Structure 1
Amino acid sequence: MTAPATLQTALGELLGDARLTAATLPGTELRLWLIDADNMDRAFSPEETRRILEEPPYWCFCWASGLVLARWLAEHPEWVRGKRVLDFGAGSGVAAIAAARAGALEVVACDLDPLALLACRANAALNDVELSYSADFFAEADRFDLIIVADVLYDRANLPLLDQFLSRGREALVADSRVRDFQHPLYRQLARLEACTWPDLAEPAEFRHVSLYHAERA
């Protein structure tokens, strides 16, 4: 099986000999085109480090929160079954794909990055599911039953997004390992679960703990 050429070229421009491989995510039946773990077991040159920081290829990793959300939807399909779902900041598309597999009526993978949307398309094909795609969350109508979000908050400066999620959907399901313990009147913590980014980046232990929050529009 050959990785999508556009994605492979984009990754190669960042990390030289890095390769995409079709990897099965731990604890799931999902497969994604991800950077080969062997490529991570080396020292990066200063130029590679600069490029990674400027244009991080986040779409070729399955981040811990995305993995937690995908597992949650597989174990609790009632959250998405028969519903219209939008995956905000979809990245690799892992949560969107999990929602589609769990029986969602419609799933829109939404991301500003064209490469992320290409990755979502390739990964949807790899898992034999159909998604729709959007590059602009705010251009979408307020018609969704559920907005799903993983690894988007990053830091507390992004907490205003929590209100924006509910501007396009009646409910929101947010998984995050960076800002785990925020206080918001509409959001309640459902669970605190554990996972690691795949391939494993050997991140600090604190980033392996993912909080899952749910909100309903008032």
Structure 2
Amino acid sequence: MLLEFIRSNTTPAPVPFVPEVMLFQADEPIALWEKTEAAGAEQPPPFWAFAWAGGQALARHLLDQPDLISGRSVLDLATGSGLVAVAAALAGGKPVVANDIDPYSLAAAAANAAANGVAVDTVEADLLDTVPAQQVVLAGDVFYSREMAGRVLPFLRRAASRGSLVLVGDPGRAYLPAGLIKRATYDVPVNESLESVTIRRTAIWQVV
């Protein structure tokens, strides 16, 4: 049912900054959000239907530097569309886990993995109070609220402290924490209806 909804309300298209990856994408968020809530249950915004700047930059970084993750286990936290998980799999990460609390997101991630011919496992759970076991932990656009940042940063630091490579893609969101190491910067094309601009300067940060 979820997969049918995604395929009926989005269109597969190359990601602007990562044309090697095809995603099921929507043009406009509000109408799609209303459709997800039509069944009567409150739903989170359809983050899964768009290629956000942080995810695009992180996906580009992985595909351009596959030695970072090739042959290593990967967790894509708050996966959204699954873009970063798909790019990680294309770059040789194995196994790759896409995690989110939104079932629509995980259905989209599975659909996008299949569309790109890669294997991605999906996990629907709030993992933020755990310690991840993967060798690489990835997170795109996760510092968009004070509450989210307050929970995500300790999780990412726990991963880094146990030896994981932890990379974050962030276009200057309000709650990006201090103390991260900048690894790269990209000018990423974005959906103007979401971002109010057409390009976002986006950095790759390493959590240590």
What TM-score bracket applies, with the shorter chain setting the length?
A: 0.7 to 0.9
Gaps of 5+ in 2: none
Q: Percent identity?
A: 29
- Is 2:131–2:158's contact at 8 Å kept on the other side of the alignment? no
- Is 1:180–1:211's contact at 8 Å kept on the other side of the alignment? no
Instruction: Map 1:1-218; keep pairs closer than 5 Å.
Output: 4-8=3-7, 19-27=9-17, 28-35=19-26, 37=27, 40=28, 48=34, 55-136=44-125, 137-138=127-128, 142-160=132-150, 161-168=152-159, 170-177=164-171, 178-179=173-174, 182-184=177-179, 187-198=180-191, 200-201=192-193, 203-205=195-197, 208-216=200-208
Give the letter aligned to residue 12 of structure 2: A
**Other structure's SS at 2:5 match:** helix
- Is 1:92–1:119's contact at 8 Å kept on the other side of the alignment? yes
- Is 1:63–1:196's contact at 8 Å kept on the other side of the alignment? no
Give the letter aligned to residue 209 of structure 1: R
Gaps of 5+ in 1: 10-18
Tell me how many residue pairs correspond in the alignment.
195
- Is 1:180–1:210's contact at 8 Å kept on the other side of the alignment? no
Runs of 4+ in 1 over 6 A off after TM superposition: none
Aligned CA distance change for structure 1 residues 191 and 179 (closer, same or farther; 3 Å): farther
Aligned CA distance change for structure 1 residues 48 and 181 (closer, same or farther; 3 Å): closer
Q: Distance in 2 between matches of 1:143 and 1:203?
A: 34
Q: Which moves more between the two structures, 168-177 or 122-131?
A: 168-177
**Other structure's SS at 1:144 match:** coil
Q: Deviations over 1:168-216 (max 9, x none)?
A: 46221001121475312xx211122211335x43623497121211024
Aligned CA distance change for structure 1 residues 168 and 98 (closer, same or farther; 3 Å): same
TM-score by length of 2: 0.81
TM-score by length of 1: 0.77
Residue 133 (structure 1) shift? 1.2
- Is 2:143–2:175's contact at 8 Å kept on the other side of the alignment? no
Larger Rg: 1
What's the RMSD between the two structures over aligned residues? 3.0
- Is 2:186–2:201's contact at 8 Å kept on the other side of the alignment? yes
Q: Deviations over 1:131-181 (max 9, x none)?
A: 111112258664211110001110344333222123346221001121475
Q: Which moves more between the two structures, 121-130 or 202-211?
A: 202-211
